[in-house]
Structure 1
Amino acid sequence: MNPATGAQLGAVTNTPLELIPAIFEQAREAQRVWADKSFSERRRHILKMRDYIRDNADELAKIVSEGNGKTRLDALATEVLPCLMACSWYGKNAEKVLRPERREPSSLLWVGKRSEIRYEPLGVVGIISPWNYPLSIPFGEIVMGLMAGNAVLLKVAAATPLVGQAIEQIVAAGELPEGLFSHIVGSGGKVSSAMFENGIDKLFFTGSVPAGKQLMAQAAESLTPVSLELGGKDPMIVLEDADLERAANGAAWAGYQNAGQSCGGVERIYVHESVYRKFVDLLAEKTRQLRHGVPCDQMAVDIGSMTTAKQRQTVAQHLADALANGAKVVAESQGVGDQDGEFHPATLVTDVHHDMLLMREETFGPIIPVMPFKTEDEAVALANDCTMALTASIWTRNTKRGKRLANRVKGGVVAINDHLYTHGMSDLPWGGPGESGIGRTHGPEGLLEMTKAKAVNWDWLRAKRNLWWYPQDQESYQAIRNAMRMVAPSSGADFLRAAGKVVPVMVKKMYL
């Protein structure tokens, strides 16, 4: 259904659960073939997907817009474009990140040893993706998984199944081995259970904190590794020396974009008391100028609809709680045209405090609460007063000051003078501590999450035995005892004395 109009867009048949074991079997067979391909071979397939995205960008933006409710420009800029850039970056850099790594011996006692760390594919990875960025979130992980040598099973959100079909078309353009990628349609709980039951090698989930905790509990039964990208209640700190025009523009973008349905968007703003009123006036003016309504080709609106009725009701609940506890609505966006869909105006709220739902729980809607602060210490304490820490931003003309403050603010990403853009940067990791999740996607860190590390160690000195092997005797004991003084000598002379006692015994025991 189109959440902005209520019109039915199409129908997608659920994947019969009894077919999932066969899907897994085929995926494992295809993965063995795929893992033997070189990075350059995998890259050629990924670049075919990139070219399909480039050539069908308008249609993809339309599918995302109609299924999610966001505007066409929003869909193009924050969904389609990042997918294209992901193909280019991972295709180019996966080999550099995942090539075998030589490790030097950590001690003179290991002088004959050589080591190599290899990053091997996990096997078959599962991706369960959300409805707020139904194209860019899963597709970036698909590309990472494929470039790392894995098979991928995707389950998209029930609210946006046609975007899942669009992803099928993109992947089909890559001409992958049959069965290497599959799109499974159905209930999130049933599909995740089937994935665990059939031995998924790792599950990548993006969604709510409660759902992430349930998945983690399921995964614990089989010790299946998970990567969880969960909630955000992201703060924005505006210092007294900030460029207020830029800060207000950035706040409007990061707070209202995608109807506020961004886990990395601005959910609360703290402004220094000396510029608080001026900032609020600027942001109020920009809020009133925004237009919300049904997205269309003519770009007649700035903000589309929310994606689900349930989420719109949560937003309304948070706002009602804030107003009941003394908050004030300062400004709202203008409704344009038919408002029968899941619309909520962009809303600027003041007179807020941390006892309100609006300041403590993830609202995930187009509401921006603003609160003043007196000192940097107070701003940091307010920003960090949250169980989630996905992203944050600091606004100041003094970059050095911003970097220092960034050291004190919790978050997986802390941006200075900008917000809500790093998810589109394929070279940077995405994720955060606390209830924002576990693990990282994107960047080198995301590629490594798609692999398992294996250490390969060998001995080039070709000794007959190691010093600590059988038979055990007093001479070996004393040699190992003296070796400890080589590792941690009290002086240079102590090291030389110990070496003089260890080396003859090593030669005797290991080579003679």
Structure 2
Amino acid sequence: MSKTIQCISPVDGAVYAEREALSHVDAQRVADLARAAQPSWVARPLAERIALVQAGIAALNETSEQAVEELAWQMGRPTRYGGEFGGMNERAAYMAEIAEAALAPMVVEDNDTVLRQIAREPMGVVLIIAPWNYPYMTVINALIPALIAGNTVVLKHAAQTLLVGERIAQAFHAAGVPEEVFQNVCLTHDVTEALIGARAFDFINFTGSVGGGRAIEKAAAGTFVGLGLELGGKDPGYVAEDADLDAAVSGLMDGALFNSGQCCCGIERIYVHQSLYESFVNKAIDWASALKLGNPFEPETTLGPMAHTRFAEVVRGQIADAINEGATPLLDPAMFPADDGGAYLAPQILVDVNHEMRVMREESFGPVVCIMAVKDDEEAIAAMNDCDYGLTCSLWTADAGRAQTIAERLQTGTVFMNRCDYLDPALCWTGCKETGRGASLSVLGYHALTRPKSYHFKKVSK
């Protein structure tokens, strides 16, 4: 019996798109086609694969205007921000630029008598399971290096952004990437897990919840298939006493509330040196109060609805529990009349919080941020590390040496100084603890999607 996968628009609560999920038999056929196509794809010259991928990105850019409107309907991001094509293009261009060097053999010795080297070979068939919050950029992180390295790719996008996978696949096919080399599919969780358990894929790249990551690890148990997992986050910021206060407020509050707080590396906890605490909080209230919650198609809207009512319910529950346990809310929801108790959720700043509260321990992934005062670097380091997640930390100080000393003690994948919420494609995107494991972007992103193969050739017989 077939199952229909629906995208319920957060804009109006109506069904915006729906697709029939593939049966197990049909999904296995997709994987088989990808496996059959991989040898001829990797046999193409690297320069040709790069050119085809770049052509796919160019074709995708031609759909940007329509994509921005579709994103607003699917996950609520205001159209004034123009989608994700700037970041997508930056990442794709950089990964194409470094491909030849990243995939080149590591030559240990090469002379008249011996060749010793370590080559990089594609994994084979890569399954990308993509999230809805940045549905274009997160796909590009894995898709570009996977295809360039010679893998074939099957893409399963989130139900909330059903049309994104189709849009990307159509563009790449129009640019000349063979359909069997890159296929977009709609799958149920049980079919996905069955395929993983049957080793239909050689590598799985997943961005999503901790629960989703655990389900994938369980499905892959005993298969020895490689996994790249970017899971939850509860990213902190620290404002030292020598920080540029205005820059810190603007940077951290934008990092906390942009995209309705639905960012993998969004700021959810802010620790401020006690000497700046009161000033920071007051400026943060002013910053957040200027936001306009509303219909994402209205040009003045800076904060759209959350992607789904159930996501907003989680955040409302965390806020309510924290207030019941002594936290103080600083924003009056009445200032944001578009808050409808559903997907449209007013932003909130909480103080008088502690690390026993759910809102300080569990990922919120919504427009709420908690602020605490700390007395020094030691207290800030301990607070930032007191977390089950480890994706990014953001340090605000005028002293780069001080930031380096603090950064070396932080349990996280990326440390920012005087900025936050940004993926530099030249740097490895990774995490620790319950944020997951693996690497994307940078040279290491290519290494994650290839396997080493050693060559020891004795060129003489004696």
More relative contact order, 1 or 2 (CA 8 Å, 6+ apart):
2
| Matched residue type, 1:125 | V
State the structure with more CA Rg. Answer: 1
- Distance in 1 of aligned mates of 2:109 and 2:435: 36
Q: For the structure 1 residues 163 and 332, does the alpha-carbon distance in structure 2 shift closer, same or farther, using more than 3 Å as the test?
A: farther
- Distance in 2 of aligned mates of 1:23 and 1:267: 40
- Distance in 2 of aligned mates of 1:248 and 1:11: 41
Q: Is the contact between residue 199 and residue 225 of structure 2 (CA under 8 Å) also seen in structure 1?
A: no
State yes or no: 1:58 paired with 2:65: yes
State yes or no: 1:81 paired with 2:86: yes
Deviations 1:370-426 (A, max 9, x none): 00000111100000001111001000122222222111222111000100012xx32
Cα drift, residue 460 of structure 1: 4.2
- Distance in 2 of aligned mates of 1:373 and 1:231: 25
Q: Is the contact between residue 196 and residue 219 of structure 2 (CA under 8 Å) also seen in structure 1?
A: no
Cα drift, residue 32 of structure 1: 1.0
For 1:304-383, list aligned pairs within 5 A: 304-331=304-331, 334-335=335-336, 339=340, 342-383=343-384
State yes or no: 1:448 paired with 2:453: no
Deviations 1:357-378 (A, max 9, x none): 1111111111010000001111
Q: Is the contact between residue 197 and residue 221 of structure 2 (CA under 8 Å) also seen in structure 1?
A: no
Name the structure 2 match of 1:146: 147
Name the structure 2 match of 1:474: none
Q: Is the contact between residue 339 and residue 345 of structure 2 (CA under 8 Å) also seen in structure 1?
A: no
Segments of structure 1 that go 5 or more residues without pairing to the other structure are 106-110, 464-512
Corresponding residue SS for 1:12: strand
Determine which structure has the larger strand proportion and give its number: 2
Corresponding residue SS for 2:284: helix
Give the percent of matched residue pairs that are identical in Structure 1 and Structure 2. Answer: 31
Cα drift, residue 246 of structure 1: 0.7
TM-score scaled by length of structure 2: 0.94
- Distance in 2 of aligned mates of 1:332 and 1:250: 22
State yes or no: 1:428 paired with 2:427: yes
For 1:70-469, list aligned pairs within 5 A: 70-74=77-81, 76=83, 79-104=84-109, 114-296=115-297, 298-331=298-331, 334-335=335-336, 339=340, 342-422=343-423, 425-460=424-459, 462-463=461-462
Cα drift, residue 339 of structure 1: 4.0
Cα drift, residue 124 of structure 1: 0.4
- Distance in 2 of aligned mates of 1:112 and 1:40: 30
- Distance in 1 of aligned mates of 2:307 and 2:82: 13
Cα drift, residue 332 of structure 1: 5.1
Cα drift, residue 341 of structure 1: 5.1
State yes or no: 1:16 paired with 2:14: no
Name the structure 2 match of 1:482: none
TM-score scaled by length of structure 1: 0.85
Deviations 1:228-271 (A, max 9, x none): 11111111000001111111111111100111111211010000
- Distance in 1 of aligned mates of 2:430 and 2:40: 31
Cα drift, residue 181 of structure 1: 1.0
Corresponding residue SS for 1:199: coil
Cα drift, residue 300 of structure 1: 1.4
| Matched residue type, 1:212 | G
Cα drift, residue 170 of structure 1: 2.4
Cα drift, residue 192 of structure 1: 3.1
- Distance in 1 of aligned mates of 2:249 and 2:94: 32
| Residues 169-178 or 198-207, more deviating | 169-178
Q: For the structure 1 residues 137 and 2, does the alpha-carbon distance in structure 2 shift closer, same or farther, using more than 3 Å as the test?
A: same
Determine which structure has the larger helix proportion and give its number: 1
| Matched residue type, 2:181 | L
| Matched residue type, 1:28 | R
Corresponding residue SS for 1:232: coil
- Distance in 2 of aligned mates of 1:318 and 1:340: 14
Q: For the structure 1 residues 236 and 302, does the alpha-carbon distance in structure 2 shift closer, same or farther, using more than 3 Å as the test?
A: same
- Distance in 2 of aligned mates of 1:74 and 1:264: 18
Q: For the structure 1 residues 173 and 83, does the alpha-carbon distance in structure 2 shift closer, same or farther, using more than 3 Å as the test?
A: farther
Q: For the structure 1 residues 262 and 338, does the alpha-carbon distance in structure 2 shift closer, same or farther, using more than 3 Å as the test?
A: closer
Number of equivalences = 454
Corresponding residue SS for 1:161: helix
Cα drift, residue 13 of structure 1: 2.2
| Matched residue type, 1:99 | A
- Distance in 1 of aligned mates of 2:61 and 2:168: 14
Q: Is the contact between residue 60 and residue 80 of structure 1 (CA under 8 Å) also seen in structure 2?
A: no
Corresponding residue SS for 2:126: strand
Q: Is the contact between residue 61 and residue 80 of structure 1 (CA under 8 Å) also seen in structure 2?
A: no
Deviations 1:274-314 (A, max 9, x none): 00000000001001111111101x42111111112221111
Q: Is the contact between residue 157 and residue 188 of structure 1 (CA under 8 Å) also seen in structure 2?
A: no
Corresponding residue SS for 1:331: coil
RMSD: 1.9
Q: For the structure 1 residues 33 and 332, does the alpha-carbon distance in structure 2 shift closer, same or farther, using more than 3 Å as the test?
A: farther
Deviations 1:54-89 (A, max 9, x none): 32222112222211111124452xx22222223322
Of residues 52, 55, 61, the one that matches 1:45 is 52
- Distance in 2 of aligned mates of 1:72 and 1:270: 32
